């Protein structure tokens, strides 16, 4: 899976982590067959953890959206922020993960 399609990568990572794998284990096996290698999924996992160190709300929003399958409106209500703010957090979080993956790839 090309890393340049970060939304697809994140979606598949969410399925992978829902399968009970990774550092951000959600531990609910629900029959999803993720289309992502363990190697890439672990890199995404590490990037999301790093993102949470820099800005915890971004990690929280990424987890809610991709791992737990919550929609923007549900996240908006849970965090008590506007829809635009949630969408901004998603874009910023995906940008962080994408940048982290690019840096890891360049260092290899």
Residue 87 falls inside a structural domain = yes
| pLDDT above 80 for 98 | yes
Report long-range pairs for 45-51 (Cβ below 8 Å, ≥24 apart).
Answer: 45/13, 45/17, 46/100, 46/104, 47/96, 47/97, 47/100, 47/101, 47/104, 48/13, 48/24, 48/93, 48/97, 49/23, 49/24, 50/96, 50/100, 51/93, 51/96, 51/97, 51/100
| pLDDT above 80 for 27 | no
Residue 95 falls inside a structural domain = yes
Mean pLDDT of 74-86: 97
Q: Give this prediction's pTM.
A: 0.84
Using a 10 angstrom Cβ sphere, with 0-12 exposed, 13-18 middle and 19 or more buried, the burial of residue 13 is buried
Residue 1 falls inside a structural domain = no
Select the more confidently predicted residue: 36 or 33. 36
Q: Identify the domain containing residue 98 by its residue range.
A: 6-107
Query: In the numeric block, which tokens belong to residue 90?
Result: 């998603």
Q: What is the pLDDT of residue 3?
A: 52
**Count of structural domains within the chain:** 1
Residue 25 falls inside a structural domain = yes
Residue 42 falls inside a structural domain = yes
Residue 60 falls inside a structural domain = yes
| pLDDT above 60 for 96 | yes
């Amino acid at each position: 899976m090309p890393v340049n399609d970060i939304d697809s990568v994140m979606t598949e990572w969410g399925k992978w982590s829902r399968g009970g794998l990774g550092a951000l284990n959600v531990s609910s096996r629900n029959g999803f067959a993720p289309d992502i290698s363990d190697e890439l999924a672990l890199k995404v996992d590490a990037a999301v953890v790093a993102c949470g160190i820099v800005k915890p709300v971004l990690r929280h929003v990424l987890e809610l959206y991709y791992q737990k399958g919550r929609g923007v409106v549900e996240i908006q209500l849970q965090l008590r922020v506007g829809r635009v703010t949630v969408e901004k957090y998603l874009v910023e979080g995906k940008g962080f993960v994408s940048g982290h993956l690019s840096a890891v790839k360049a260092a290899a």
